[in-house]
Amino acid sequence: MKIIKFTALWCADCIVMRKAWIEVSEAFPDLTIEEYDFDEHEEVLQKFNVKKVPYTIFIDDQGNELLRLEGMQNKKDLMEKIEQNLK
């Protein structure tokens, strides 16, 4: 599974979520996490129809979209969503 997260330097919620993402990546070392800055990757934003940040998309190993999370998420919720979608 791969997670694509969209953030921005000016986004307060994105800044708050940074610590949670660090802990998530430590808890799931085999998980691929791609990060795109809202102001620098317009083509990726358009591809995934992302209009705001923070925004997270879960993709399975075949490239199929599993889940979209809009807005700020806490570490507990992120971990639960990852565990649910890894099955």
Chunked mean pLDDT (size 10), the chain, 87 residues = 96 95 94 95 95 96 95 95 89
Q: What is the CA angle 62-83-23, rounded to 5?
A: 105
> Which pLDDT score, from 0 to 100, does residue 34 have?
96
**Which tokens hold the place of 60?**
């399975």
The model scores a pTM over 0.85: yes
Parallel, antiparallel or unpaired: strands 55-59 and 32-37: unpaired
CA distances from 46 to 17, 22, 41, 49, 60 (A): 23, 26, 9, 5, 20
Q: CA-CA distance, 82 to 45, in Å (whole number)?
A: 22
Torsion of CA 52, 83, 61, 9, to 10 degrees: 30
Q: What is the CATH number of domain 2-86?
A: 3.40.30.10
